[in-house]
Structure 1
Amino acid sequence: MVTKQPRWAPDPETYAARKSATNDTYRELPDREVQLRDTGIWWTEVDTARIRQSDTDQAWRRFRASLPELIWNAAKLEGNSFTLPEVRSLLDGVSVGGHRTAEELQVLALREAYGALRDLVGYGTFGVDKSTSDRLNRLVARHETPDAGRFRGEGTLRRDGSELLRARYAMLRQHLAEIDDPWLQALIYVCSAARTRFYPGGNKRTALLMMNGILISNGFDAVTVPYARRLELDHALDTLFTTDDATELMALLVDCAISEG
């Protein structure tokens, strides 16, 4: 079952992305101080008008067909040495030699996480909420940290900072709930979550999964940064982490979506 229309219920547990506005060029942006207060990042104008939109069913089917490439790219950007044919073999249950166990486990964890996202979107249960993010992080980082699926400070090493992270996540969701354009929602989410680092590990991969959940639920294709553009990604992430400016990373993700389309 694939939902044709994403849900929109801005209460804390059932929030999901809203359909896009007609004009996808962001012309009226909130004050930078408001952006930083609500999301921990700031950005300037980004144009998404050329990005193709279809419907949830078609986007979901294309997502399912491209899962090996998405998983390979996500792993490759983490420094994983598996090739795309090797990833395909591993996903088909065929053992692949010549790699560290940690690399194989990373690919298998990504398979589980992307499979979970496929099912969440397919059954209309994907939501932009902490429980969904926790579930995806638990799968992505399950072999990397004993606290996978829990915000920093919520797990084995409990610290007061976990309350601040939960408050930041609530502010982010409230900010997204006031935005009509799902592409802007997705961009803000992925940049804010990557910058804030809610989890002990797997933050960028989890943020990308959540971003693609928003996009697919609204009839846009899933997006990833090709490994060939890793240097651009590294530069954009460095800018984000040193200045809180997400504009460069947002523009890169938009360009990747246009290039793939």
Structure 2
Amino acid sequence: MPTDRTKIEKALFIAKKNLAGLVYDFQTLEGMPFTLPEVQTYLQGITVGGHKIEDEDKLKQQALAWKQLIVLVETNSFVFSKATACALQAIVAKDEALEIGRFRQGQVWIKGADYLPPDHETLDARFQALCERISALEDPFEQGGVAALDMARNQYFYDGNKRTGFLMMNGLFLTNGLLPFSVPSKHVLDYNIMVLEYYATGNERPMRRFFEEQYAAQYPGFHR
């Protein structure tokens, strides 16, 4: 059954209204130095002093990626696909990754983790399996959680994997009338500890439970 367009419009309204918060949480996840008021100021078109130019450039890309995702949903153009993931990664990881807009062509390592991401030659098949798994799930919240976790663990790109995964998660959320989600800055340490354990074990359940708890805390009383 198609999602009520009213629910989608509400989700988009919340995403636009809370854009600064979403961008702030993204940059906190990456260990960037901006405060929430600084992000709000930047999004108003005012230069924020006292920061490196490369940090401001990186902040700009986080904002552009969220704005592009919103446009895709607004125009009914969001599709969970390799092409969409590559397009969003090309924005969010611009000037960071060895290569942008395509799956990695070599091995990567995750700092602080013993886990070794899969060989690059298996990535197309892995992403196709992810698409099929998502198609088989009926709950869009579950779809989004699976997407974000799979993309983080398989490291499809040289950089920007977690952020791209969260963008794809939110594409699934918004197109199904769910409100936008990000890991709150005050819980980034919890997320980082848990995601290292997830890398090691591949067990999604604790992470998905964490997403459920954080979503419920952000939107008390919202029934998805």
Which residue is equivalent to 2:213?
255
Matched, 1:195 2:147: no
SS in 2 for 1:55: helix
Q: Which position in structure 2 is the counterpart of 1:65?
A: 17
Distance 1:101 1:254 in 2: 36
Name the CA distance, whole Å, in 2 between partners of 1:251 and 1:83. Answer: 28
Q: 1:36 corresponds to which residue? A: none
Conserved in 2, the CA contact under 8 Å of 1:5 and 1:56? no
Q: What is the deviation of 1:183? A: 1.0
- In 1, Cα distance between equivalents of 2:48 and 2:189: 28
Report 1:123-142 matches (<5 A).
123-142=75-94
Alignment of 1:76-91 (within 5 A): 76-91=28-43
1:113 partnered with 2:71: no
CA contact (8 A) 1:239 1:246 kept: no
Higher relative contact order (CA 8 A, sep 6+): 1
In the alignment, is the contact (CA less than 8 A) between 1:145 and 1:200 conserved in 2? yes
Return the alpha-carbon distance in structure 1 between the equivalents of residues 203 and 122 of structure 2. 21
Measured in 2, the distance between the counterparts of 1:236 and 1:253 equals 11
Pair 1:238-2:188 in alignment: no
Unaligned runs of 5+ in 1: 7-18, 20-53, 155-160
Q: Kindly provide the amino acid, as one letter, of the partner of residue 148 in structure 2.
A: V
Measure the CA separation in 1 of the matches of 2:42 and 2:36.
10
Whole-angstrom CA distance in 2 between matches of 1:152 and 1:198: 6
Tell me the distance in 1 between the aligned counterparts of 2:2 and 2:171: 13
Is residue 80–residue 103 contact of structure 1 (8 Å, CA) maintained in 2? yes
Aligned to 1:164: 122
What is the identity, as a one-letter code, of the residue corresponding to 1:226? P
Q: Could you list the per-position Cα deviations for residues 58-81 of structure 1 after superposition, in whole angstroms to 9, with x for gaps in the alignment? A: 111111111110001110121111
Letter in 1 for 2:156: F
CA deviation after TM superposition for structure 1 residue 194, in Å: 0.6
What are the ranges of 5 or more consecutive residues in structure 2 without an aligned counterpart? 107-118, 220-224
2:98/2:158 contact within 8 Å kept: no
| Runs ≥4 residues deviating over 3 A | none
Task: Look at both structures and tell me which one has the larger radius of gyration over its CA atoms.
Answer: 1
What does the per-residue CA deviation read over 1:198-247, in whole Å, with 9 as the maximum and x for residues that have no partner?
A: 00001000000000110111011011111111221012101111111122
1:10 alignment partner in structure 2: none
Residues 67, 114 of structure 1: 8 Å contact kept: yes
Question: What is the alpha-carbon root mean square deviation over aligned residues?
Answer: 1.9
Partners of 2:30 and 2:181 in 1: how far apart? 16
Hey, what's the Cα distance between the residues in 1 that align with 2:153 and 2:120? 16
d(CA) in 1 for partners of 2:2, 2:120: 34
TM-score normalized by structure 1? 0.76
Matches within 5 A, 1:35-46: none
Q: Percent identity?
A: 29
Number of aligned positions between the proteins: 207
d(CA) in 2 for partners of 1:146 and 1:196? 17
Normalising by structure 2, report the TM-score. Answer: 0.88
One-letter code of the match for 1:130? K
1:74 counterpart letter in structure 2: F
Q: Is 1:185 paired with 2:146?
A: no
